[in-house]
Every structure is written in C-alpha cells, then in structure tokens.
Amino acid sequence: MLSARDALVRREQFALSGDFYVPAGELHALVGRNGAGKTTWLLLLAGRIDPSAGEVLCSGAPVRPPRVAYLPARAEDAVLGARRLLEVELTLGVQGDMQDPGKRLEALERQLDLPLERTGGHGELFMRALLGLMAMEPYALLLDEPTSRLGPTARRSVYRALTRLRDAGLAVVTATHDPELARLADRLWLVDAGTIREVSLEGAVACGAMRAPEIGGAFLGSVPLDADASGALRRILRP
C-alpha cells in the first residue's frame, strides 16, 4: 500500500494537506482543476519533495526509488534511451541488475500488451519511459496526465497497460483530466482548495473538476457500466 498520513506540503503561497491511500492492485485517479496541486501531490507520493508534516509510506517503509516509480507529464523527461531495448538496458545497468535486458523487455511488452515499437511520437516516448520504469519492478507507479498528449490509439494502449499493471498487483495513481481514465479508476480523489479527499464521479462533475459532456462521451463506449456508475451518470446528465 502507498499512503500519506496527515501529510502537508507547504510552499510560499500554497499548502496542500490530507490523508491518502491506495492498496496494491488498485488504480486511483487524482482529479481537480489546473493548478489545484495534483502534480504536487504526486511528487510528494513519489518522494520527490518532503512533507512539511506527516509521513508518506510504501508498504510501511519510507518512499524511495525503485520502490515507487514516477512518470512526469512530459515522458521525454523520464526517457534515458533512444530505443525500448536501450531504455530497459540502461535502467537495469543503473540498478546493477545483470538479467538479460532483451528477455526483460519481451516479458514487459507481453505483460502490458504494448503495440510494436515505432520510431517516434508522444505515444512511443510514453511506452519507452513506462518500460524503463517497470524494469525497476516498483511496488507503485505514479503518472502525471499520461494521456494528455496522445491520440486515440495510444490512449487505448495506456488504458490497457495500466489496468494490466493494476490487475498484476501494482498500486497505480494517475493525475488526469481524461474521463475515460477516471472511469477505469477504482477510486477518485479530488484535489481542491488545499485538500485532498475521496470524491464520486458525480461530485467531481459538480465541483467542476470534470465536465459532464466529457464524462458522457467516455461512457458511450463499448465497456458496460455497473449499476452505480450508470446511476451517477444519469443524475449528472439529467436536464
């Protein structure tokens, strides 16, 4: 489990506080307006910034890489190599891991059901960065707006990869404005007015963190909804 207990982040004119937890095998989404502090909260969970108060733990121990992996909004900021194999090879080399990088890459591509490698594009940069992080075998994966720069085909690959990681037992947290990714999450957390708290889909739309038309479009796909989600959507979109 990845958790923040009585955590507080304080900067010059900004403060964000709250309790947070995501068990292994769950995908949670942070939602909120631009500037609310979603990225700050991810950086706190990733151990990139220290809490002003409280504590952040992963499986009962202080957060540190490779225990917790973080993928920023610009995937190119996390990429080490020019190809997928080189990315995995460099990651393993940094860790002093002597396993065969080719076999590790094949296993990861198969596990995540990734498309074939391409020569460029934001989608390929994301896949390359994700493979490098997963080669570290983290307990938790944090992603900042992973689908914001991707086209429909690449987004579907991301949805598939993240749900497979969740189903394999990883704790996955993503900040997002993507309604389809929010729909796939096991739990939503609203970052708003300096706090973080659990929120329903209906609550996220009501406070302006997500827009009803976007949610409606996401739910018109081929994946069936459970009764609770269907009811929430009807209430949100009711004239």
Nearest residue to 91 (alpha-carbon basis) of 81, 82, 83 = 81
- Listed as own residue / partner, the contacts of 199-208 with beta carbons closer than 8 Å and 24 or more positions apart are 199/31, 200/232, 201/229, 201/232, 201/233, 201/236, 202/232, 202/235, 202/236, 204/31, 205/236, 206/236, 208/33
Residues with Cβ within 8 Å of residue 229, at least 6 apart in sequence: 183, 201, 219
60 by Cβ neighbours in 10 Å (0-12 / 13-18 / 19+) ranks as exposed
pLDDT classification of 222: cutoffs 50, 70, 90:
very low
Residues with Cβ within 8 Å of residue 149, at least 6 apart in sequence: 73, 122
pLDDT classification of 223: cutoffs 50, 70, 90:
very low
Separation between Cα atoms, residue 38 and residue 174, nearest integer Å: 9
Domain 2-199 top-level CATH class: alpha beta
What is residue 44's predicted lDDT score, i.e. its pLDDT? 95
Ranges for all domains in the chain classified under CATH 3.40.50.300 = 2-199
138-160 per-position pLDDT tens digit: 999 999 999 999 999 999 999 99
Give buried/exposed letters for 6-34 (b at 16+ CB in 10 A, else e): ebebeeeeeebbbebbbebebbbbbbbbe
What is residue 213's predicted lDDT score, i.e. its pLDDT? 53
Write down the pTM of the prediction: 0.87
Q: How many residues does the chain have?
A: 239
73-86 per-position pLDDT tens digit: 999 999 988 899 99
| Average per-residue pLDDT for the chain | 88
What is residue 195's predicted lDDT score, i.e. its pLDDT? 95
What is residue 229's predicted lDDT score, i.e. its pLDDT? 52
pLDDT exceeds 50 at position 239? no
The kind and range of the H/E element at 20 are strand 14-22
What is residue 98's predicted lDDT score, i.e. its pLDDT? 73
Separation between Cα atoms, residue 36 and residue 52, nearest integer Å: 18
Taking the CB of residue 69, how many other CB atoms lie within 10 A of it?
23
153-194 per-position pLDDT tens digit: 999 999 999 999 999 999 999 999 998 899 899 999 999 999
12-21, 65-74, 145-154, 224-233: segment of lowest average pLDDT: 224-233
- Listed as own residue / partner, the contacts of 51-54 with beta carbons closer than 8 Å and 24 or more positions apart are 51/4, 51/7, 51/8, 51/9, 52/8, 52/9, 52/10, 53/6, 53/7, 53/8, 53/17, 54/4, 54/5, 54/6, 54/7, 54/8, 54/17
Separation between Cα atoms, residue 218 and residue 68, nearest integer Å: 30
110-127 per-position pLDDT tens digit: 999 999 998 889 999 999
What is residue 212's predicted lDDT score, i.e. its pLDDT? 59
